[in-house]
Amino acid sequence: MKENKSKLFFRSILFTLLVLCKLSYAQLKVSPISNANQLMNSLLGDTENLEVSNMTIKGGKKTFGLFKANLIYNTFFKEGVIMSTGIAEHAEGPNDDTKKSSKINFESDKDINVIADNKGCYDTSLFEFDLISATDEIEFKYCFASEEYPEYIFKNVNDVFIFLVTNTDTNTSKNIALLNGDPNTPITVDHINPEVNSEYYIANFNYNISTIETLLNNEKHFELAKSIQYDGFTTVLTAKTKVIPDVKYHFKLGISDVGDQLYDSAIFLEANSLKSTGTKPKLLDTINNLETEITLDFEIKFDTGSSKIIGAHSFSLLDAISKALLNKTEVNINIIGHTDVVGTNLDNKKLSLSRANAVRDYFIIKGISNSRINTNGMGEEQMKSSISKDNRRVEIVFSK
């Protein structure tokens, strides 16, 4: 009996020392935010190729924060943004409460609820913004953490994170918060845990008297339990998606409690990791490296039987060409209009010239001198495809 009491006393002393150590060993610090711009200022790592606007947050400022961390033995972000279903500052360690919960609001979101199998979402936090990329791919790095680990996996509560990307031209959306891009594996408690996709899961030990010996014998476990409150994490994950250059996309990052308002979950987003990682359209490189002359065929769309330019993608292309021409003042262009076979040959000849002139007029509005532009109409003489819409087009000949 004396031996057990001595051992318990010794463990109590050790635990007291661990608690006191918190004052000098704090490894995660979360600071509050005042607006959505602060989040973007932390996340955006590419101001040359990415243009962002209309940043908003929903769910309460306390659910968002800016964090700094200095973990030595664990792989974790140095700094970034945290989004939580509870109070963001509660992410700070030690992990001394296995049931950390903060009832923030009854906010829900229909897109998150779809991923959650319509089980009901609460304490939802949303960060939304518009983005235009100069290249064809963007990405960012993150990890998911939750107090639901490991007791509440497969218990029909399954907290969830989404990153919804919407093409504002076509109004089509997709969730890119997926494990390895697999649409059947969203980022939720039930999809990444000790039993499923366990290689992407990291357990966090409890920070209390019963775990003292384990923690003292493993610096990695001690550091994590000492630094961060959540009971489990995913490894560092990367979300990426293909985009159409110069087209506006709407981005929605959201995290939500599912089924109830208990047990906080969070997303850590790495600072400066929102980047453009694709390639720029060949058009810009082609014009910039032009030696003599080249002809390019563009998907500039027109209404049937009309010279009216339609579609956000068409105007994005025209804007990209305009920028290149403004930078290369020695380059002249010949715009050649085409039509499908609907209508008479004479009418199509006139229509194709009208289309070429419509493109010319757009360039002039953008600051391109009329003296650098020539137009021509080929009508239906040079069919590109058996599909009618493919022939309602323009070619542009760039020359020095």
pLDDT digits (tens, 9 = 90+) for 25-75: 548 999 999 999 999 999 999 888 898 999 999 888 899 999 999 898 898
pLDDT of 116 reads 63
Which pLDDT score, from 0 to 100, does residue 2 have? 47
Q: How much is the pLDDT for 105?
A: 66
Average confidence score pLDDT of the chain: 84
Share of the chain above pLDDT 90, in %: 40
In this predicted structure, what is the pLDDT of residue 27? 82
CB within 8 Å of 331: residues ≥ 6 apart: 287, 290, 324, 325, 372, 398, 399, 400
Q: How confident is residue 6, by pLDDT bands cut at 50, 70 and 90?
A: low
Beta bridge partners of 227: none
Q: What digits encode the pLDDT tens for the residues 143-201?
A: 999 988 888 788 776 777 889 999 987 889 999 999 998 988 988 888 999 999 999 99
**Paired sense of beta strands 373-377 and 332-337, if any:** parallel
Task: Using DSSP, state whether 136 is helix, strand or coil.
Answer: coil
Q: Is the pLDDT of residue 373 over 90?
A: yes
- As given in the structure block, the two tokens for residue 261 are 């308002």
Confidence tier at 260 by pLDDT (50, 70, 90):
low
CATH class of domain segment(s) 282-399:
alpha beta
The domain limits of the chain are 2-276, 282-399
pLDDT of the residue at 259: 61
